[in-house]
């Protein structure tokens, strides 16, 4: 069964058919799904989904672009949720310089605070980093993120940068971009990244892989991503599915 390590089924793109869609996952080979919080509101919806679906687990965190809403009270609320059994990570957290909103110091402050939260509650982190490779790495090194562990989700940087994150024993979330014809840089990185460090993800509803590029994404597209990785790594599709499932189990469930 495929392990979906990053999706947003609380998104309004799924309001009309979420029930039906998630009910179809088991027969389509999708086993476990991590629904990733991006704002306090999406964390609340994630908690509801965790209760409703046995195969859905949750990550609690606020995306860098949403950090203007964070307060000590909000952080305290996140800390409380992290004690729940089915909360298996802090995320998604990080830096986003594509959208420089809120200002960089605000993003950095809450990235640090949420990294510290993960250390405190002993959960791995799910990192969002866009156009901010160096600052993300510097901040993670300064806070000894290698002691916390986690995944750089939707990895999109170079092979050289992957080596740096690899030194901290981080995993790499690989999604739909790997199927795009122009993703040369990412393909080079994935050729280097050991299969034992790769997690499958979609980031649904965003970033649908070929041949569904541009449409609403869902975990049903994960086989296209696994197939693209299998071709790059010169291993079987089944091996990619099985090894990435084991990787996700090791990262997210070993502390429970
Ligand atoms: Ni995401």
* Spatial distance between the Cα atoms of 143 and 139, rounded to a whole number of angstroms: 6
**What are the backbone dihedrals phi and psi of residue 249, each rounded to the nearest 5 degrees, phi first?**
-60, -45
Which residues touch 49 (CB under 8 Å, ≥6 apart)? Answer: 9, 10, 35, 56, 58
Secondary structure element (H or E) that encloses residue 47, with its range: helix 40-52
pLDDT, tens digit only, all 256 positions of the chain: 999 999 999 999 999 999 999 999 999 999 999 999 999 999 999 999 999 999 999 999 999 999 999 999 999 999 999 999 999 999 999 999 998 899 999 999 999 999 999 999 999 999 999 999 999 999 999 999 999 999 999 999 999 999 999 999 999 999 999 999 999 999 999 999 999 999 999 999 999 999 999 999 999 999 999 999 999 999 999 999 999 999 999 999 986 4
2-253 topology per CATH: TIM Barrel (3.20.20)
Per-domain boundaries in the chain = 2-253
Tell me the CA–centroid distance for residue 63 and ligand 1, in Å: 8
Using the mean position of ligand 1's atoms as its centre, give its distance from the Cα of residue 7 in Å: 6
Looking at residue 204, its pLDDT comes to 98
Tell me the CA–centroid distance for residue 38 and ligand 1, in Å: 7
The values of phi and psi at residue 237, to 5°, are -55, -45
No. of H helices and E strands in the chain?
9, 8
Q: What is the whole-number distance in angstroms between the Cα of residue 130 and the centre of ligand 1?
A: 11
Alpha helices by DSSP H, 122-219: 133-142, 159-167, 184-192
Q: How far is the CA of 8 from the centre of ligand 1 (A)?
A: 7
In whole angstroms, what is the distance from residue 170 CA to residue 124 CA? 10
């Amino acid at each position: 069964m495929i392990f979906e390590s990053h999706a947003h089924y609380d998104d309004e793109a799924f309001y009309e058919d979420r029930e039906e869609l998630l009910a179809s996952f088991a027969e389509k080979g999708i086993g476990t799904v991590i629904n990733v919080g991006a704002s306090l509101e999406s964390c609340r919806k994630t908690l509801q989904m965790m209760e409703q679906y046995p195969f859905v687990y949750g990550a609690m965190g606020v995306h860098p672009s949403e950090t203007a809403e964070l307060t000590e009270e909000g952080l305290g609320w996140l800390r409380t949720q992290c004690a729940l059994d089915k909360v298996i990570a802090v995320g998604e957290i990080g830096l986003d310089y594509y959208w420089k909103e809120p200002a960089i110091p605000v993003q950095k402050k809450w990235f640090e605070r949420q990294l510290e939260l993960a250390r405190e509650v002993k959960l791995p982190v799910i990192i969002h980093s866009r156009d901010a490779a160096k600052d993300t790495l510097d901040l993670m090194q300064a806070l000894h993120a290698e002691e916390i562990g986690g995944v750089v989700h939707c990895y999109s940087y170079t092979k050289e940068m992957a080596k740096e994150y690899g030194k901290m024993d981080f995993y790499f979330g690989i999604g739909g971009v790997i199927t795009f014809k122009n993703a040369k840089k990412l393909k080079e990185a994935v050729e280097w990244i050991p299969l034992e460090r790769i997690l499958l993800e979609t980031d649904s509803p965003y970033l649908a892989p070929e041949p569904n590029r541009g449409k609403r994404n869902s975990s049903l597209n994960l086989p296209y991503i696994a197939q693209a990785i299998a071709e790059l790594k010169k291993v079987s599709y089944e091996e990619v599915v099985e090894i990435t499932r084991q990787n996700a189990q090791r990262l997210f469930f070993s502390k429970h």
